[in-house]
């Protein structure tokens, strides 16, 4: 059974870069697509982007200028970098396995990232 674990700092200063890594176990990142999704406190879900093992990405148009998603298949990990963060980027960040059939069929536990000085 696939498991996803998000890791990274829980606090980021405004204007700095938010960096998170999702480590996958029980499956290979050389299959499927892999997504990042976030949820501001008390609000709904927002899809951020996904990556294929080839490195091909598709990023939410609203974040295209600030968001980079990368993958390291040798470590079975994929990562997110969001630059120039503001308080609006405070959210629980989830990673998820993504397929054309099931969309997001397995999710990591999520991690709260707070943007504050």
Partner 1 sequence: QSVLTQAPSASGTPGQRVTISCSGSSSNIGNNYVYWYQQLPGTAPQLLIYRNDQRPSGVPDRFSGSKSGTSASLAISGLRSEDEADYYCAAWDDSVTGPVVFGGGTKLTVL
**b/e per residue 87-105 (b: at least 16 CB within 10 A):** eebbbbbbbbbbeeeeebe
Phi, psi of 87 (to 5 degrees): -60, -25
Strand partners of residue 20:
80
- Contact residue for partner 1 among 89, 108, 113, 115 (CB under 8 A): 108
> Of the two residues 41 and 74, which places its CB atom closer to partner 1 in the complex?
41
Interaction pattern, residues 47-86, with partner 1; x per rule: CB under 8 A:
x--x-------x--x-------------------------
> Of the two residues 16 and 107, which places its CB atom closer to partner 1 in the complex?
107
In whole angstroms, what is the distance from residue 60 CA to residue 77 CA?
A: 20
Measured between alpha carbons, how far is residue 4 from residues 36, 56, 76 in Å? 11, 20, 10
Stretch that binds partner 1, among 15-23, 24-32, 73-81, 107-115 (CB under 8 A): 107-115
Which residues lie near partner 1 (CB under 8 A)? 35, 44-47, 50, 58, 61, 94, 101-105, 107-110
């Amino acid at each position: 059974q696939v498991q996803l674990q998000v890791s990274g700092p829980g606090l980021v200063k405004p204007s700095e870069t938010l960096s998170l890594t999702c480590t996958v176990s029980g499956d290979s990142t050389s299959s499927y697509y892999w997504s990042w999704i976030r949820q501001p406190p008390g609000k709904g879900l927002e899809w951020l982007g996904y990556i294929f093992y080839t490195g091909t990405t598709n990023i939410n148009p609203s974040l295209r200028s600030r968001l980079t998603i990368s993958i390291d298949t040798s470590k079975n990990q994929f990562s997110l970098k969001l630059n120039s963060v503001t308080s609006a980027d405070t959210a629980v960040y989830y990673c998820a396995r993504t397929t054309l059939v099931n969309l997001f069929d397995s999710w990591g536990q999520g991690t709260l990232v707070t943007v504050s000085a």
